[in-house]
Amino acid sequence: MKLLLATNNGHKIEEFQRILADFPIEIEFLTPRDLGISIDPEETGTTLYANAEIKAIEFFRASGVPTVADDTGLEVEALGNAPGVFSARYAGEHCSPRANRKKLLAEMDNSDDRRARFKTVICYFDGDRSYFVSGKCEGEIIREEHGTLGFGYDSIFRPENNEKTFAELLSEEKNAISHRGNAVRNFGHLLLAMQKPIMKIGFLASGTGSNVEAIIEAISNGRLYAKPMMIISNNSDAKVREKAEKYGIPFKHISSKMFASDDERDQAIADEFANCGVNMVCLAGYMKQVGEPILKRFGNNVLNIHPALLPKFGGAGMYGINVHKAVIEAGETESGVTIHLANSKYDSGKILAQKKVQVLPGDLPETLQKRVLCIEHTLYAETLQKIVLGDITL
């Protein structure tokens, strides 16, 4: 395949070529210079994703060749993930890297929370739609500059589990852990995944379907390489039906009242999913225990999301607002979200991913629920994409 790298930066080009050479994919790399292209797209996006996409689409239009472009930013926890998309011009337009570092250190002078990460987003535009992968490197902002290698914020960023800053690491040491290197490797895994049968998702939901919609949106905007196939609900009045209509996805109402046993119900669900090609089942606020017919048909490809840090606050009766009420009554200082394999017992399957949320003083179940739900809407799709890329094995 031909692939245009939307850069003439020799280091970036070498990094793409070196990392993707480890994947069993034949790629002919092209650069703007090779094709006589000298455009410089204006990066007007407000996110790394938007800027990467702007560049990928503009270079594709100029070349007609499937294009890869990237954008990178530094996210600092204490600054609400700033400077982020504005990293290169944090101290103002046409400012120097030194001015950016000086401003960042000044703003963090009284902060004990030094957590930060570099993040790179890669957009692959094939002429039809955009696909995204990302890579990050966790670390911290130190209080004074160390090292003379690297560029940008490297001299004040110390990667996790390392005693040196990026500016003190040799290029090969940095490349092994860098955000861009991780993103390029994920891009390689995406190219491999695109040569295999796509993940086809069947959803089970009982309520509003906000997690269903979040996953569908992730698919639509290219952050999850998958296809939504069907939504089944045990509740004929569930608002998730509206999501199905909105996105043009087949909807089925299948409830226990229609069958003599739960096994017959679950056999009907398994048959419906199988008939439309589903190979991944996602429970999203489904208020029934999945039974043997579904588990036997789809094996480990049945996932559930739970609004707490399992194994705490799981099991029968632990759903919705009940979970958050129990967390607060127990005096917990943190809660969160868990993605796990579904099995024959409530909330007891293998944990695939978790993300924490702080329980704040004065939190009510409703306020905690709102913050947890925001994490649910990103973690489910991120976990599915990691399965697609091979980062998580079921």
Output the CA torsion 380→386→391→394 (10° steps). Answer: 60
Q: What is the mean pLDDT of residues 75-101?
A: 94
Q: What is the mean pLDDT of residues 276-285?
A: 96
pLDDT at residue 172 in the model: 83
Percent of the chain with pLDDT strictly greater than 70: 100
Instruction: Identify the band that residue 216 occupies on the pLDDT scale cut at 50, 70 and 90.
Output: very high
Q: What is the mean pLDDT of residues 359-375?
A: 96
Tens-place pLDDT, residues 314-340:
998 899 999 999 999 999 999 999 999
CA dist 262 to 79, 287, 290, 294, 380, Å?
Answer: 51, 13, 9, 11, 27
Residues 310/353, Cβ–Cβ less than 8 Å: no
Instruction: Identify the band that residue 100 occupies on the pLDDT scale cut at 50, 70 and 90.
Output: very high
180 Cα distance to chain centroid? 16
pLDDT at residue 150 in the model: 82
pLDDT at residue 74 in the model: 97
Average pLDDT over the chain, rounded to an integer: 95
Tens-place pLDDT, residues 113-150:
999 999 999 999 999 999 999 999 999 999 999 999 88
| CA Rg value for the chain | 23
Q: What is the mean pLDDT of residues 85-89?
A: 94
Q: What is the mean pLDDT of residues 261-280?
A: 97
Percent of the chain with pLDDT strictly greater than 90: 91
Q: Helix, strand or coil for residue 70? A: strand
pLDDT at residue 168 in the model: 96
pLDDT at residue 107 in the model: 96
Looking at beta carbons, which pairs linking 150-156 to residues 24 or more positions away fall under 8 Å? 150/174, 151/97, 152/74, 152/87, 152/88, 152/97, 152/100, 153/74, 153/87, 153/97, 153/100, 153/101, 153/104, 153/118, 155/101, 156/101, 156/104, 156/105
Catalytic residue chosen out of the listed positions 22, 34, 71, 266: 71
Instruction: Identify the band that residue 221 occupies on the pLDDT scale cut at 50, 70 and 90.
Output: confident
Q: Is pLDDT at 94 greater than 90 in this prediction?
A: no
pLDDT at residue 11 in the model: 82
pLDDT at residue 199 in the model: 97
Domains and CATH numbers, the chain: 2-193 (3.90.950.10), 199-389 (3.40.50.170)
* H or E, element range at 54: helix 48-63
> Token pair of 233, please?
């609900």
User: Is the peptide bond between 83 and the residue preceding it cis, with omega within 30 degrees of 0?
Assistant: yes
Q: Is pLDDT at 15 greater than 90 in this prediction?
A: no
Cα distance between the two ends of the chain: 30
Active site residue 34: no
Strands 2-5 and 28-30, bridge-based pairing:
parallel
Strands 199-204 and 280-283, bridge-based pairing:
parallel
Q: Is pLDDT at 10 greater than 90 in this prediction?
A: no
Tens-place pLDDT, residues 46-60:
999 999 999 999 999
Q: What is the mean pLDDT of residues 201-220?
A: 96
